[in-house]
Chains A and B, each alone.
Chain A
């Protein structure tokens, strides 16, 4: 087995950044509302991961407490977001994000 460098904080942060990038790409490029929302959740989780990493690196639990709060808020947000999806579906009979253009102009 080849020698693998020990995992430092930077590695974790890189993981988090990659996850965040994936989430952002998903939000920006997908037209399906559900996938969009899920990508948003990915982004939030990437942030959570960063918080946990720094909490571990500093030995301070505040980061984890904050991550906990983020989880709770994300739950609330997912709840409301899905309610909106339902309302929008009732309006337009579709979950295509590009069809909702009332903000045009």
Chain B
């Protein structure tokens, strides 16, 4: 019961802010809407017993990536004239949205979702929690985890190189 209410409210917030993201002229407004969306998404993760994921969503995405985005938006100091307006584009945007819905909803129309387990299985103690997830990572997925650090290093270096004024 609680789950249902939470799901629908969080879902509405999520989708609503998502729609806001894609329809705002000002990128800053989009960024704020994005943060709200992430918050709602974190809530949904919580509903799914993905505790660590929820926390990290807020920390990394909302607190890290979006902050970075806001920094860059501010850095570029865009004037009103530089920003595109949404006038006269609503029809195409709506059509586009409907098209994407069609594409994304393909599994639903194709009936591929009939074989899903309906009853939620019993979860182990601490499922999705820090300790449990940590064990899984370090036991079975150590290599990709370490490679991630390489990836982040590469990304840092790449970003530095790309944004230099003179190479």
- Could you tell me which A residues sit within 8 Å of B by CB distance? 4-15, 17-26, 28-32, 34-35, 37-39, 41-42, 45, 48-49, 52-53, 55-59, 61-62, 64-65, 67-69, 71-80, 82-87, 89-90, 94-96
Contact = CB atoms under 8 A, between A and B. Distances in A.
Chain A interface main SS type: helix
A65 B57 contact: no
Given A12-B48, A34-B30, A55-B50, A82 B121 contact: no
Interface of B: 1, 3-5, 7-8, 11, 14-15, 18-19, 21-22, 24, 27, 30-31, 34, 37-38, 41, 44-45, 48-50, 52-53, 56-57, 60-61, 64-65, 68-69, 72-73, 75-76, 78, 82-84, 89, 92-93, 96-97, 99-101, 103-105, 107-108, 113, 116-118, 120-124, 127-128, 132-133, 136-137, 140-141, 144-145, 148, 151-152, 154-156, 158-160, 162-163, 165
Contacts of B19: 22
7 contacts: A15-B11, A29-B96, A42-B18, A65-B133, A68-B52, A79-B158, A82-B72
Contacts of A11: 7
Contact of A59 (B30, B124, B136): B124
B52 A64 contact: yes
A37 B30 CA distance: 11
Contacts, number: 238
A56 B49 contact: yes
B14 A84 contact: no
A83 B21 contact: no
A94 B81 CA distance: 10
